Structure 1
């Protein structure tokens, strides 16, 4: 039986590994303006291949000078190659090491002065690192670091203000039933969605990667300030759990919504209230994020820690799959706007790119 089980798992994994890159593309190709049978050159399995490569200081410096009139490339010069972010991993490494040193300061030297820094860095590490990843992925390079940080701070706080305004009008119970989890999911995702729309319209953004980045900035800000606030309610141990859970929560959900907003609006036109209710490509993704949030918060009765961890794992997998769909759709958009035919390359196939 064990041998049969191993063979079955091996067969299943082989099928998933061979078809995963195609699965997200099959979804993404129906979101853009290309023909339904147009392939796209993207290898998500290699997306993080540059993380472990050596990079120069000049390469890192170039990432931070984008978004100005003199450094924003023309559309024809925008890179349509598969995205391979790497700098975000260095940001995470610095923040993670800072977190560890603060832990040592607290527990070895009994210094309570380390607690505020521990709360801040612990809340910041994962969301901000994810934000930097989406900043690298924005191949249009039309959003500056200043705009990202402004959106991160102001957008994150504004989304919390909108959330608390909604909470004052809705019946939120202390226990996490499916009903309460659903109300929380609708409230917080709607609040973030409203703020993301405000910033996308304010910056007059029109590309999927732009929407994903602005959404990630607002979601990361929301995550950082919310996690910091939970410490006063549940104690310092909250940071040791929420800091790493952030890999699949607010930053990811808001990035999905940001991309969906671009998909739902007319190009070079602001997103309107009418778009909110009449554009299926937006509304489906918005409903999915509400479902992901609800599922994450739902405390299923008569279950233990293992079920809760399984819920979170499922949530993370689905959330990141949708992020990959957005990345795929974003690359398709670049190719479409540049007037190129999109070609997919497989290890066992060699296809010629046409213009």
Structure 2
């Protein structure tokens, strides 16, 4: 069953294409297919993909969130990134992905959290408290991470690797940050906090992306987001536990709620930007320490540190929705980095098409 839209071979009885989401049941009539629109679409398909625009169309990015998706579509997503399922560079699409699984993950996490909340508040059962803290701390950071994973167009990182980086990278980055705090001792302020935590996450991200296997900008963005998600979740769990120890359940719930609402624009986005910036300057070269002083990397890293410092200062309380403004700024940078990542793939595909006998990059 070849998809009439993209040519992908789907299993039988699949209504929507597992690759592009095209629904054959809502296909147009023969007369419409012979219209000027379809002629124009066919003409566009003849244009070399390296010359197509990869500019974002925000109304289309989330167009598949509210569609009905089967288990086969989810299963196909979860098997990407292995040696057998990673596409070659010439097979990677440089158009904007349309993620949808992250919304389902959030719903599942929300249902789990509500069940744990009822167990604690309604039945007064303390056995539900650890699960409440863990699920509440990980729900939004992990959901945001799944969004980054779906946006990873090269599809060369398996989900098990992402989970590994979340836990190991999150813990490692927190330990490195504690080392920096111990060195600073009494010189703790929003600036030093921003430098220490972002430097700790950047060092951890570089440890994971230094191998040439993860050489794309989108790879750095994803693995950085994984480290940031682990950092954010463990930090939230710690603050929630402090609220519980104080004997105030209101503080426990408020901590989980507000930190979850702000999580997408904090550690997850910041670490993702640092990882993407490093992959952008490393490219196909082997890791060297002098890469860290390249202006392209330093500009992004310093901007991330400044946003983190502003986040922790009382200044954000002076003007309305200060942290929401910083969240929006972070995601503007994230989408700009995704665009650069897609353009990078387009350029590599163009180079492969014209120089197929060069070593694959």
Aligned residues: 294
Is the 2:211–2:287 contact (alpha carbons within 8 Å) kept by the matching residues of 1? Answer: no
| Contact 1:264/1:271 (<8 A) preserved | no
**1:141-156 equivalence runs, <5 A:** 141-156=155-170
Is it true that 1:248 corresponds to 2:265 in the alignment? yes
1:47–1:84 Cα contact (<8 Å) kept: yes
Matches within 5 A, 1:188-207: 188-202=197-211, 204-207=213-216
* Structure 1 counterpart SS, 2:183: coil
CA distance in 2, matches of 1:308, 1:75: 46
**What is the 5 A alignment of 1:168-317?**
168-172=182-186, 180-202=189-211, 204-235=213-244, 236-237=252-253, 238-265=255-282, 267-277=283-293, 279-300=294-315, 307=318, 310-317=321-328
Aligned partners of 1:312 and 1:263: how far apart in 2? 27
Give the aligned partner of residue 131 of structure 1.
Answer: 145
Q: Could you state the TM-score of these two structures normalised by the residue count of structure 2?
A: 0.77
- Counterpart of 1:56 in structure 2 is 70
Deviations 1:232-258 (A, max 9, x none): 334423222212221211011111111
Question: After superposition, what is the alpha-carbon deviation per residue over 1:245-276, rounded to whole angstroms, capped at 9, x for unaligned?
Answer: 212110111111111111121x2223422111
In structure 1, the residue corresponding to 2:234 is in which secondary structure? helix
Structure 1 stretches of 4+ moved >4 Å? none
- 1:336 equivalent to 2:347? Answer yes
Q: Partners of 2:84 and 2:53 in 1: how far apart?
A: 33
Q: 2:88 aligns with which of 45, 70, 74?
A: 74
Contact kept in structure 2, 1:196 and 1:214, CA below 8 Å: yes
Alpha-carbon distance in 1 for matches of 2:338, 2:240: 34
What is the CA-CA distance between 1:330 and the residue it aligns to? Answer: 1.0
Which is bigger in relative contact order (C-alpha 8 A, separation at least 6)? 1
Question: Could you tell me which residue of structure 1 aligns to residue 56 of structure 2?
Answer: 42
**1:158 corresponds to which of 150, 169, 172:** 172
Unaligned runs of 5+ in 2: 1-49, 245-251, 352-361
SS at match of 1:98: helix
Structure 1 residues 272-310: Cα deviation after superposition (integer angstroms, max 9, x where no partner):
221111x2111111111101111111123xx85xx4761
Q: Relative to structure 1, is the Cα distance of residues 165 and 325 closer, same or farther in structure 2, using a 3 angstrom cutoff? A: same
SS in 1 for 2:138: helix
User: Kindly tell me: are residues 308 and 288 of structure 1, through their superposed partners in 2, closer, same or farther at Cα, counting changes over 3 Å?
Assistant: same
Give the aligned partner of residue 347 of structure 1. Answer: none
Gaps in structure 1 of 5+ consecutive residues:
1-34, 174-178, 341-355
RMSD: 2.0
CA distance in 2, matches of 1:44, 1:290: 27
Deviations 1:78-119 (A, max 9, x none): 112211111011001100111112111111111122111110
> Partners of 1:308 and 1:242 in 2: how far apart?
19
Kept in 2, the 8 Å contact 1:219–1:250? The answer is yes
TM-score normalised over the length of structure 1? 0.79
Cα drift, residue 41 of structure 1: 4.2
Contact 1:120 1:228 in 2 (8 A): yes
1:127–1:251 contact (8 Å) kept in structure 2 = yes
8 A Cα contact 2:92 2:154, kept in partner: yes
